[in-house]
């Protein structure tokens, strides 16, 4: 068992994990909320180190990251487990495997093997995604450090529940992140996800402070987080943090334990995008709506079409030297 990073030993063989904002105190022989970190005789260990459940090469647009090396490929990995219990999880078969089935599976893959595979696939980045990268932090951090030495960059696709200590540890080797801001109400986070809102907001602010490129995704679920008032508050919060944060508003389809809510109407996504722009955000996108106008990037200054996308495919990229070719405005993002 790999000894965990970011924990402290306490009396009576207890440990306190401070990798994520649950900050679990774990007795000998027990696991934390994520189900993949176990106290064995007063030492906390990761049960998923080098146990990769998914590894694919994806377009970076799938993360989604729209302002980070557009058109490039991202070698994407995950282990099982998550520190959230979202009723609408789209990857519950792997993220909730330890909680629902008390099982931990994964193919043995060392950081060296992951980096080698990433290079072989032609990817420019490694994405830690599909489940929650925080809970396989030891594997992610060791891989990220090695990846940087080999000229790759690293991306987290995360629920944003990591602790500040976790972000401070990884940020020199973390280049981009897409964080889910699942709602703007603590009630939603408690009831639907088994978590709290404030730690996620703290993560968004910390990532900006540490200089990590940040994009945000919100999955709109009819009747649960799509009221005009809530979306106004959420988008104002993002715009106050930085109007250049790209906000992805994604369409929900019934899944996992949330089968009685309807799919999000396209008009709701469109209205949410309008609210985002009204709040002052400059780049607001639609997700899970292939062919929608909201997949494209337009210059925030002159409205020129800069990136023409269809689904996860970039059909045209007109950005040159970080700038709009028509008006010369600098376009926020990581372009090369
Ligand atoms: S990662 Fe989070 S959920 Fe898992 S043991 Fe640590 S504090 Fe608890």
pLDDT of res. 33: 98
- Span 308-332, average pLDDT: 97
pLDDT of res. 131: 97
Torsion of CA 279, 205, 111, 102, to 10 degrees: -80
Query: How far is Cα 7 from Cα 84, in angstroms, rounded to an integer?
Result: 19
pLDDT of res. 166: 98
pLDDT of res. 270: 97
Reduced to 3 states, what is the DSSP secondary structure of residue 136?
Answer: helix
Instruction: For residue 314, name the pLDDT band (cuts at 50, 70, 90).
Output: very high
The CB of 218 under 6 Å from ligand 1? The reply is no
The CB of 306 under 6 Å from ligand 1? The reply is no
* Residue 199: CB atoms within 10 Å: 19
Residue in the block written with tokens 């072989």:
120
Read off the pLDDT of residues 180-218 as tens digits, 9 standing for 90 and up.
Answer: 999 999 999 999 999 999 999 999 999 999 999 999 999
Point out which residues pair with 255 in neighbouring strands.
258
Instruction: For residue 124, name the pLDDT band (cuts at 50, 70, 90).
Output: very high
**Residue from 113, 107, 127 nearest 61 by CA:** 127
pLDDT of res. 129: 97
Ligand 1 atom closest to 44 (CA) = 5
pLDDT of res. 10: 98
pLDDT of res. 89: 97
Max Cα–Cα distance, the chain, nearest Å? 67
Instruction: For residue 327, name the pLDDT band (cuts at 50, 70, 90).
Output: very high
- Span 259-271, average pLDDT: 97
Instruction: For residue 160, name the pLDDT band (cuts at 50, 70, 90).
Output: very high
Reduced to 3 states, what is the DSSP secondary structure of residue 67?
Answer: coil
| Strands (DSSP E) found in 94-148 | 107-108, 125-128
Per cent of the chain over pLDDT 70 is: 100
pLDDT of res. 25: 98
pLDDT of res. 183: 98
pLDDT of res. 250: 97
The CB of 23 under 6 Å from ligand 1? The reply is yes
Centre of ligand 1 from the C-alpha of residue 145, in Å: 22
Distance, first Cα to last Cα, the chain:
39
pLDDT of res. 11: 96
Query: How far is Cα 226 from Cα 273, in angstroms, rounded to an integer?
Result: 12
Nearest residue (CA) to ligand 1, atom 4: 34
CA distances from 10 to 45, 87, 272, 297 (A): 15, 33, 47, 51
Supply the mean pLDDT for the chain. Answer: 97
The CB of 20 under 6 Å from ligand 1? The reply is yes
The CB of 279 under 6 Å from ligand 1? The reply is no
pTM of structure: 0.97
């Amino acid at each position: 068992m790999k000894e965990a990073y970011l924990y402290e030993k306490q009396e009576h063989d207890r440990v306190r994990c401070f990798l994520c904002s649950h900050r679990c105190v774990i007795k000998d022989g027990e696991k934390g909320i994520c189900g993949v970190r176990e106290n064995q005789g007063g030492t906390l260990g990761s049960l998923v180190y080098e146990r990769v459940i998914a590894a694919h090469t994806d377009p970076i647009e799938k993360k989604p990251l729209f302002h980070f090396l557009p058109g490039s490929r991202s070698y994407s990995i995950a282990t099982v487990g998550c520190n959230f219990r979202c009723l609408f999880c789209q990857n519950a078969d792997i993220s909730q495997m330890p909680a629902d089935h008390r099982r931990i599976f994964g193919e043995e893959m060392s950081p060296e093997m992951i980096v080698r595979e990433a290079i072989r696939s032609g990817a420019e980045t490694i994405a830690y995604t599909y489940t929650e990268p925080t809970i396989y932090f030891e594997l992610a951090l060791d891989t990220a450090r090695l990846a940087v030495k080999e000229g790759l960059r690293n991306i987290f696709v995360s629920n944003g529940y990591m602790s500040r200590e976790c972000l401070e540890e990884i940020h020199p080797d973390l280049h981009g992140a897409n964080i889910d801001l699942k709602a703007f109400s603590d009630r939603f986070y408690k009831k639907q996800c088994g978590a709290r809102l404030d730690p996620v907001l703290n993560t968004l602010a910390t990532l900006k402070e540490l200089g990590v490129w940040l994009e945000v995704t919100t999955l709109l679920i009819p009747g649960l987080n799509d009221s005009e008032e809530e979306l106004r508050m959420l988008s104002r919060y993002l715009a106050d943090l930085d109007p250049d944060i790209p906000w992805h508003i994604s369409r929900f389809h019934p899944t996992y334990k949330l089968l009685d809510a309807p799919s999000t109407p396209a008009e709701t996504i469109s209205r949410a995008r309008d609210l985002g722009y009204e709040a002052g955000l400059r780049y607001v996108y639609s997700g899970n709506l292939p062919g929608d106008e909201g997949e494209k990037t337009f210059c925030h200054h002159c409205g020129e079409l800069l990136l023409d996308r269809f689904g996860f495919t970039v059909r045209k990229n007109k950005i040159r030297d970080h700038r709009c070719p028509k008006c010369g405005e600098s376009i926020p993002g990581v372009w090369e």
